[in-house]
Amino acid sequence: MTEQTIFRKARLADGSLVDLHVMDGRFNAITPASAAGLSAGTDLGGQLVLPGFVEGHIHLDTSFYGDAWRPHIPCTNGFDVRERVAFQARNLSAAAPMAERAKNQLELCIGHGSLAMRSHVMVDGSVGLKHLEVILAICEKYRELIDIQLVAFPQSGILSSPGTPEFLDEALRLGCDLVGGLDPASFDRDVKAHLDVVFGLAGKHGVGVDIHLHDGGTLGLFQIEEIAARTTALGMGGNVAVSHAYALGDIPADALARAGDMLAASGVAIMTNAPGNHAFPPVAALRKAGVTVFSGSDNIRDSWWPYGDGDMLNRASMIGYRSGFYEDWELEAAYDVVSYAGAKALGLEGYGIEVGARADFVVLKAEHVPEAVVAVPGERTVYRAGRVVAKDGAVL
């Protein structure tokens, strides 16, 4: 797009009514809304305009969204990651082609207004690089519509699954943006050896880290401390995230205060999807401590749970609901988790509604952000680089 496009009467989050001028896919001017009568450009009619949402944690390879319904299989004796991984392997062996399922999820997310995404993709001794090859190809097809970061994710552990360090190394060479990890203590039973591989590969390839950590209590906290210490020692602040970090939701207040300070100082971000059946990181307390808290759908109709709709605005609503957020500033915080904080955690360039930023935005039937978070309006139009790409949930 080389000519100027104008979007008139856009309501920004601060309440101001403006005209958005777009050139070459970026906002090149934002001016007070022009006088009535001007008809050039697109009239947004005073609807709320927000930057595209950030889907910070999803699994494009393992969802059954759009495939046959798969009834949830409960763990036999409480939540057990190893058992869930086994259920997943069984389910995936009978699933529709991965490219088709990944495409369904991508369109679900884009349709709701997510224009940046971080997806974990299984890379381990059980599947090798098979999932990654499919996901890399499908992401390439969607690059005009959404920015995608891929995490090489050792779903079957690193030490528990022979060959995994080598597969992770190769995955990073093939283009994964980050290296993942999985419960270094409870799954691999060797925190140091697990993190040596993860941070060793991150250093070798110059990539970030995003580790799945379900371990609760002091065991989980110990691993968070180890991850933060390595992040500081390696100068990787801003490039490391811990996903789930359930432990932060079930440790005493004084321990949480220390953890919050440590995470903020080391620059380790925390991802939570406000899961329904777990203690989860206290979003307000961590934000107050200066920690970047971001979010994602995580599992959408997969072997872990049947929920998920790919709508990050609905996710903000869930975060607010589970966090007991009622006041406007709290609802705005829930929205921040799925937008600006997500952009910070993912290191996105040119995010926001401002001159110079990319013209990736969502137009919503809401007066302001607090209303958008509680109402989750389904009617919305999604623009990528100033062009409509989705309307009312459907990718055009």
Q: Which residue is nearest to Zn ion (CB)?
A: 298
Cβ neighbourhood burial of 277 (10 Å; 0-12, 13-18, 19+): exposed
Q: How many residues bind Zn ion (CB under 5 A)?
A: 1
Q: Minimal distance in Å, beta carbon 180 to Zn ion?
A: 9
Cross-strand bridge partners of residue 394: 391
User: Tokens 């039937």 label which residue?
Assistant: 365
| Nearer to Zn ion (CB atom), residue 183 or residue 298 | 298
| Nearer to Zn ion (CB atom), residue 107 or residue 298 | 298
Collapsing DSSP to helix, strand or coil, 316 comes out as helix
Q: Minimal distance in Å, beta carbon 320 to Zn ion?
A: 21
Determine, following the binding rule CB under 5 A, whether residue 298 of this chain makes contact with Zn ion: yes
SS3 of 35-72: the string is CCCCCCCEECCCCEEEECEEEEEECCCCCCCCCCCCCC
Q: Minimal distance in Å, beta carbon 56 to Zn ion?
A: 10
CA distances to 60, 146, 205, 314, 386 from 390, in Å:
20, 12, 35, 17, 12
Q: Minimal distance in Å, beta carbon 88 to Zn ion?
A: 11
| Nearer to Zn ion (CB atom), residue 298 or residue 360 | 298
Binding span for Zn ion by CB under 5 A among 17-25, 141-149, 283-291, 292-300: 292-300
| Nearer to Zn ion (CB atom), residue 187 or residue 325 | 187
Binders of Zn ion among 150-189, rule CB under 5 A?
A: none
| Nearer to Zn ion (CB atom), residue 51 or residue 56 | 56
C-alpha to C-alpha distance for 270 and 90, rounded to whole angstroms: 30
DSSP class of 34: P
DSSP class of 124: B
Binding span for Zn ion by CB under 5 A among 196-204, 276-284, 290-298, 317-325: 290-298
User: Tokens 């009467």 label which residue?
Assistant: 9
Q: Contact 88/368 with Cβ under 8 angstroms?
A: no
Binding span for Zn ion by CB under 5 A among 34-42, 60-68, 125-133, 293-301: 293-301
The helix or strand, by DSSP H or E, that contains position 248, with its residue range, turns out to be none
- DSSP sequence for 335-384: HHHTTHHHHHHHT-SS-SSSTTSB--EEEES-SSHHHHHHH--S-EEEEE
Q: Minimal distance in Å, beta carbon 296 to Zn ion?
A: 8
Determine, following the binding rule CB under 5 A, whether residue 210 of this chain makes contact with Zn ion: no
Binding span for Zn ion by CB under 5 A among 83-91, 140-148, 215-223, 294-302: 294-302
| Nearer to Zn ion (CB atom), residue 105 or residue 381 | 105
Residue 184: phi and psi, rounded to 5, are -55, -35
Collapsing DSSP to helix, strand or coil, 148 comes out as strand
Q: Minimal distance in Å, beta carbon 120 to Zn ion?
A: 5
Q: Minimal distance in Å, beta carbon 81 to Zn ion?
A: 11
Determine, following the binding rule CB under 5 A, whether residue 302 of this chain makes contact with Zn ion: no
Q: Minimal distance in Å, beta carbon 396 to Zn ion?
A: 29
Closest CA to 183 of 308, 267, 80: 80
Binding span for Zn ion by CB under 5 A among 72-80, 213-221, 222-230, 297-305: 297-305
Closest CA to 114 of 393, 396, 387, 319: 393
- Residue 326 CB partners (closer than 8 Å, separation 6+): none
| Nearer to Zn ion (CB atom), residue 296 or residue 386 | 296
Q: Minimal distance in Å, beta carbon 203 to Zn ion?
A: 24
| Nearer to Zn ion (CB atom), residue 47 or residue 155 | 155
Q: Minimal distance in Å, beta carbon 271 to Zn ion?
A: 9
Binders of Zn ion among 63-92, rule CB under 5 A?
A: none
Which residues contact Zn ion by CB under 5 A?
A: 298
